[in-house]
């Protein structure tokens, strides 16, 4: 197959940049743990309110530097009393849904988690600035989708 | 001129496409005004109903019918008139697809299916919505098999020869489409329909999402490849040159069979149930389509330069000014291509694993959609419409139509530029997609998003309104060229199908050995999906009951 000389240069350049780019993404993901929300845990979607840790949602301290925020998403809101977490500490979000698919998305952060019934989504995040952050649902979930929000308060210790 | 019976099938397909386009763009207009709180819908109509109709009618129905109208015309032109069986099955395919469309649309209008065209479980629409969607797919399969049959007859009569480029590309697109549909057919047939009619109680949500996206990403290539066909086969003829390289054109197309399917996880990067390894593997495979896209970009600009120099263009860029900018058939497609540069770059961002978290399900994605399928694909189809309908009806494409066509293309570009720029920026700020008007109870963070020069409620509405005007001009052109323009009597008025010559003398024969490409595609699909999918099924949680939250 004949390739024009310029086309060879163009393709070599393109493929080389592709390799560089994918390496950056891959190294950042697997050696620095910059991976998107996910997790392999499952749960019975009809028994969320009786299953730990979702039977007792809210913020719990795991150890000195780690907190867990357990949140239940449902049409059209989030069940998580007193969402207050400290700044500069690792917060592990654990979220599931009692009904349809939602998201838990915190404005101005990289927390953007799909919430799928039957599955538990996990994401670790450390807030750098104190303040009140808007949490919203960005996956269509019904008539009240655009009303589904809550807040999280990040306080200085 | 192709056989009159073949023209009739193509015209019906294109007619349905533009009927869907009319309703779909009207829904789009309503949306921009609901989103900025200027319009209150009556109680019997819901924003999400309109949004579902907009997506289904434009992204699925308009594209699919137009594509088959284009394929049927081109296959009849390049391989000769259809036989009676091909014609019969093309008609059956058309009617089945139409029946499915009408069923699905009726369910949306009745308020029984406000679930978007992605219909994520456990939102539960009426079972007839899913049956309608299944019929749409089955209909396209019947139409596809008709075209494959036509191609096989040609191959039998022309042993040892490569098929014409148009036919080759049509068959490539169809092969990709049929493999891709297996995912959505599996989930609709075995998960959604039994569940929606109450034969099963629950559904495995994550599995249904995964099967949907097995189909959902190649779906976008099903829209894009016919546009690429226009770029490769139609544009050179309009410019008065040959296809730049026949073998490269074919190679880039078969690469799409390989790399457009085993990549669905890049739509599921922020969700549970798929481990990081498999997500990343599919990210890598996703990026492989950049290779044929770069090849296409090179071929296009090479074609432009050759044509411009042939017209007397000098110097490094002088050829650029010598392109036929007044020819609406060319200008429309050129602008479509230009939109695809930021469109493609945005796609790379979306699929970039952890970077996806920044944009996933924000308005950025809506902006991305509108400068990929909404302009590069749709405007290429518009550029085809200008000659395809007159070619099929034997009517003139009059001077006033040419002027209107130019106005239509320019308004669409301006409207889209305004609307999609606003959407991209709003998405980066964090504004979510698929929402009616919302300030989250006037939350300061949400108010801030809409406070910019471009990122406000007005820009999107202006863009959307200009787009609607443009759409109506196009509908006028379609009606005129279909029913009202004067018949072309003089030879100079006859509108032709511009199909470029392609020099096949140096094209290797193995490029048209489909079993190689199907085999490799299946192997890649098995590598990308077998383990994560079987893990998903074996470790499935109890299923979900249906919900009707609208």
Across the interface, whether the CB atoms of A1 and B247 are under 8 A apart is answered yes
Q: pLDDT tens, A123-151?
A: 999 999 999 999 999 999 999 999 999 99
Under a CB-based contact definition with an 8 Å cutoff, are residues B108 and B114 in contact? yes
Q: Does B428 touch chain A (CB under 8 A)?
A: no
Q: CB–CB of B339/B371 below 8 Å?
A: yes
Confidence of residue B254 (pLDDT cuts 50, 70, 90): very high
Q: How many Å lie between the alpha carbon of B289 and the closest alpha carbon of chain A?
A: 11
Per the residue annotation, which of B33, B232, B369, B468 is the catalytic one? B369
Give me the pLDDT at residue A157, please.
82
Quick check: is B48 catalytic?
no
The alpha helices in B80-126, defined as continuous H runs, are: 84-109
Helix axes B378-393, B205-229, angle to 10 degrees: 60
A41: nearest CA partner in chain B: B273
State the pLDDT at residue A7.
87
Query: How confident is the model at residue B250, as a pLDDT?
Result: 95
Going by pLDDT thresholds of 50, 70 and 90, the confidence category of residue B386 is: very high
Residue with tokens 């289904």: B56
- Active-site residue (options: B129, B221, B244, B397): B221
Shortest alpha-carbon distance between residue B501 and chain A (Å): 18
Q: CB B298 to CB A29 under 8 A?
A: no
Q: What are phi and psi of B489, to 5 degrees?
A: -105, -50
Q: Give A108's contacts in chain B (Cβ within 8 Å).
A: 430, 445
Judge whether residue B441 has pLDDT over 90. Answer: no
Shortest CA gap B438–chain A (Å): 6
Residues of chain A with pLDDT > 90: what percent?
90
Out of A122, A140, A151, the one facing B48 most closely (by C-beta) is A140
CB pair distance less than 8 Å for B287 and A1 = no
Confidence (pLDDT) at B484: 95
Give the closest residue to B65 by CA, choosing from B31, B24, B116. Answer: B24
A63 pLDDT band, cuts 50/70/90, is very high
pLDDT > 90 in chain B, percent:
91
| Cα–Cα dist B296/B341, whole Å | 12
Q: What is the DSSP letter of B354?
A: G
Cβ contact, residue pair A107, B446, below 8 Å: yes
Given a cut of 80, is residue B427 above it in pLDDT? yes
Say yes or no to pLDDT of B438 above 80.
no
Q: Which residue has the higher pLDDT, B393 or B1?
A: B393
> Do the Cβ atoms of B270 and A14 come within 8 Å?
no
- CB contacts under 8 A, B 41-60 vs A, are 46, 48
State the pTM of this model: 0.96
Q: Per-residue DSSP letters for B433-457? A: SS--S--TTT-HHHHHHTTSSSSSH
Residue A30's pLDDT band, with cuts at 50, 70 and 90, is: very high
For the cut 80, the answer to whether the pLDDT of residue A2 exceeds it is no
Average pLDDT over residues B202-229: 97
Give the tens place of pLDDT for each residue, B451-493: 888 888 888 889 999 999 999 999 999 999 999 999 999 999 9
Tokens of B267: 């739509």
B155 in catalytic set: no
Q: What is the pLDDT of residues B102-146, one digit of tens each?
A: 999 999 999 999 999 999 999 999 999 999 999 999 999 999 999
**A3 → chain B, closest CA residue:** B248
Q: What is the H or E stretch that residue B238 is in?
A: helix B235-239
Residues of B in contact with A32 (CB under 8 A): none
84-113 in chain B: CB under 8 A from chain A: none
| Chain B residue numbers touching A133 (CB-CB < 8 A) | 445
- Active-site pick, B155, B309, B434, B535: B434
Place of tokens 């058939």: B329
Catalytic site includes residue B424: no
Query: Do the chains contact at A38 and B276, CB–CB below 8 Å?
Result: yes
């Amino acid at each position: 197959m004949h390739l024009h000389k310029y086309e060879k240069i163009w393709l070599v350049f393109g493929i080389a940049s592709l390799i560089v780019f994918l390496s950056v993404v891959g190294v950042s993901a697997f050696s620095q743990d910059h991976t998107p929300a996910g997790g392999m845990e499952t749960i019975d979607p009809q028994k969320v309110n009786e299953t730990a840790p979702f039977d007792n949602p809210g913020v719990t301290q795991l150890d000195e530097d780690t907190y867990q925020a357990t949140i239940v998403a449902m049409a059209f809101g989030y069940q998580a009393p007193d969402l207050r977490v400290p700044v500069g500490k690792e917060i592990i979000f654990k979220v599931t849904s009692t009904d349809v698919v939602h998201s838990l998305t915190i404005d101005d952060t990289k927390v953007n988690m799909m919430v799928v019934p039957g599955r538990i989504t996990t994401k670790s995040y450390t807030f750098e600035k104190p303040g009140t952050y808007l949490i919203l649902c960005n996956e269509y979930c019904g008539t009240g989708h655009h009303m589904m929000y809550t807040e999280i308060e990040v306080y200085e210790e | 001129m192709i056989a009159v019976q073949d023209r009739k099938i193509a015209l019906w397909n294109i007619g349905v496409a533009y009927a869907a386009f009319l309703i779909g763009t009207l829904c789009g207009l309503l949306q921009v005004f609901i989103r900025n709180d200027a319009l209150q819908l009556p109680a019997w109509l819901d924003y999400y109903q309109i949004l579902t109709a907009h997506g289904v009618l434009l992204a699925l129905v308009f594209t699919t019918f137009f594509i088959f109208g284009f394929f049927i015309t081109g296959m009849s032109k390049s391989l000769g008139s259809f036989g009676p069986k091909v014609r019969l099955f093309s008609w059956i395919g058309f009617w089945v697809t139409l029946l499915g469309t009408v069923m699905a649309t009726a369910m949306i209008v009745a308020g029984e299916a406000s679930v978007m065209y992605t219909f994520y479980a456990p939102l539960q629409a009426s079972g007839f919505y899913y049956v309608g969607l299944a019929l749409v797919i089955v209909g396209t399969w019947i139409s596809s098999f008709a075209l494959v049959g036509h191609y096989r007859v040609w191959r039998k009569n022309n042993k040892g020869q490569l098929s014409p480029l148009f036919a080759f590309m049509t068959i490539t697109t169809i092969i990709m489409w049929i493999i891709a549909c297996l995912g959505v057919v599996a989930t609709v047939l075995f998960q959604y329909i039994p569940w929606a009619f109450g034969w099963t109680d629950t559904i495995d949500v994550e599995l249904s999402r995964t099967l949907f996206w097995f189909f959902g990403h190649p779906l976008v290539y099903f829209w894009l490849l016919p546009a690429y066909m226009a770029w490769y086969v139609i544009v050179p003829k309009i410019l008065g040159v040959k296809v730049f390289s026949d073998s490269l054109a074919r190679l880039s197309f078969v690469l799409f069979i390989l790399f457009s399917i085993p990549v669905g996880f890049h739509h599921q990067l922020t969700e549970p149930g798929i481990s990081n390894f498999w997500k990343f593997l599919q990210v890598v495979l996703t990026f492989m389509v950049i290779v044929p896209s770069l090849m296409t970009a090179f071929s296009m600009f090479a074609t432009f330069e050759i044509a411009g120099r042939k017209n007397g263009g000098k110097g490094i860029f002088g050829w650029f000014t010598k392109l036929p900018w007044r020819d609406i058939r060319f200008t429309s497609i050129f602008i479509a291509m230009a939109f695809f540069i930021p469109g493609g770059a945005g796609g790379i961002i979306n699929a970039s694993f952890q970077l996806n978290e920044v944009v996933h399900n924000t308005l950025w994605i809506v902006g991305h959609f509108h400068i990929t399928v909404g302009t590069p694909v749709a405007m290429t189809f518009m550029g085809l419409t200008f000659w395809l309908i007159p070619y099929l009806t034997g009517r003139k494409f009059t001077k006033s139509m040419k002027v209107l066509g130019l106005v239509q293309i320019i308004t669409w570009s301006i409207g889209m530029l305004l609307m999609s720029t606003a959407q991209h920026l709003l998405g980066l700020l964090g504004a979510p997609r698929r929402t009616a008007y919302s300030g989250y109870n006037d939350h300061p963070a949400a108010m801030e998003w809409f406070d910019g020069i471009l990122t406000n409620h007005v820009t999107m509405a202006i863009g959307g309104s200009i787009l609607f005007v443009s759409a109506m001009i196009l509908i006028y052109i379609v009606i005129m060229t279909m029913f009202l323009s004067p018949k072309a009597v003089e030879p100079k008025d006859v509108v032709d199908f511009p199909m470029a010559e392609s020099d096949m003398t140096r094209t290797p024969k193995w490029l048209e050995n489909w079993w190689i490409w199907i085999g490799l595609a299946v192997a890649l699909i098995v590598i990308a999906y077998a383990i994560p999918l079987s893990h998903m099924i074996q470790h499935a949680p109890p299923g979900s009951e249906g919900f009707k939250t609208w």
